[in-house]
Amino acid sequence: MKPTDSHEDCRPVGEILHQIGGKWTVLIITRLGDGPKRFGELKRMVGGISQKVLTSTLRDLEMDGFVTRTVTPSIPPRVDYELTDLGRDLLVPLSAIGEWAIANRPRVLAARRQYLEDHPEAMPKRAAHVALMKQAAE
Amino acid sequence: MKPTDSHEDCRPVGEILHQIGGKWTVLIITRLGDGPKRFGELKRMVGGISQKVLTSTLRDLEMDGFVTRTVTPSIPPRVDYELTDLGRDLLVPLSAIGEWAIANRPRVLAARRQYLEDHPEAMPKRAAHVALMKQAAE
DNA sequence: CAGAATCCAACTGGATACTG
DNA sequence: CAGTATCCAGTTGGATTCTG
């Protein structure tokens, strides 16, 4: 599995990455890294995610075999999510990305500021930029 | 920079991850991993990407300081893209993800098949699923 | 509590045509 | 060759309301 070769298997890999690369996936998987969590617990921990999106993201993760969903039919109901072996496996490279993001956010923000200085006309054509720029302004 | 703590900096990290998690970002960065590439070269190597999307993704990466864009005003014009130090830095955790995806694609596909067996009514509510299922059927 | 169901605005990304 | 400029369909994701 050499890293710099393999021109053919780009697309299939892209599909998996796209799935993993969802805005919240990394956050959810890493939150589950230290044990099972209930739905509401996860929602609070991640923060800023709507239930609809959390629900469907968790469904995706369940579908891909990264998490298990355990329903306890009590009143009120209780649902726990937990990483599978595959999920814990994925957690390794994923948390590496997460830590990279935390560690290098300042560098990225600085690069964005620099870019805007050099290209004053650049202005946000993509939404993600706006969000990051707001952070850069802090 | 502990992995399992830090409830606060989830969102900011999410923004960076979202950026990185774009469908093509990982593919492009890893393709650039073994040296500078021209626009058309990249387009062929990645495969299946439109020039519009390739262009805007490259702009994003440039904006974030991951790649440099070098224009040689000849006829025909020539533009080279190359990883910056920050980009090469990012390449490390990113290619880990890429390799994970290649190595574990079968497991993910198997999980999807299993899921569909267990939940016959599940059927594609999200597009990404359709793509993966088509692959699963191969 | 955990979600399902709607409604709807915003963003993504593909196809096509044109330019220096 | 390497874009830029449109147009446009499909998806994502937020807010809100309702249910077992």
Q: Is residue A103 part of a domain?
A: yes
Q: What is the pLDDT of residues A27-46, one digit of tens each?
A: 899 999 999 999 999 999 98
Q: Is residue B26 part of a domain?
A: yes
Nearest to A99 among B1, B11, B34 (CB): B1
The parent domain of residue A108 ranges over: 17-135
Q: Is residue B59 part of a domain?
A: yes
Q: Strand D: which nucleotides have any atom within 7 A of a protein Cβ?
A: 1-6, 10-17, 20
Cβ-defined contact of B100 to A122 (cutoff 8 Å): no
C1'-nearest nucleotide to the CA of A127: C11
Q: Is residue A11 part of a domain?
A: no
In this complex, the residue with its CA at the shortest distance from the C1' of nucleotide D10 is B127
Nearest to B97 among A10, A63, A93 (CB): A93
Q: Is residue A107 part of a domain?
A: yes
Q: Is residue A105 part of a domain?
A: yes
**CA–CA dist A108, B65 (Å, integer):** 6
**Distance in Å, residue A133 CA to nucleotide D15 C1':** 25
End-to-end Cα separation, chain B, in angstroms: 43
Model pLDDT, residue A10? 63
In this prediction the pTM is: 0.85
Which residues, 6+ apart, have CB-to-CB distance to B11 below 8 Å?
A47, A48
- For B59, name the nearest residue in chain A, comparing CA atoms only: A122
Q: Is residue A81 part of a domain?
A: yes
Confidence check: pLDDT of B15 > 50:
yes
* CATH at B80: 1.10.10.10
Name the DSSP class of B135: H
Q: Is residue A111 part of a domain?
A: yes
How many domains does chain B fold into?
Answer: 1
**CA–CA dist A5, A8 (Å, integer):** 9
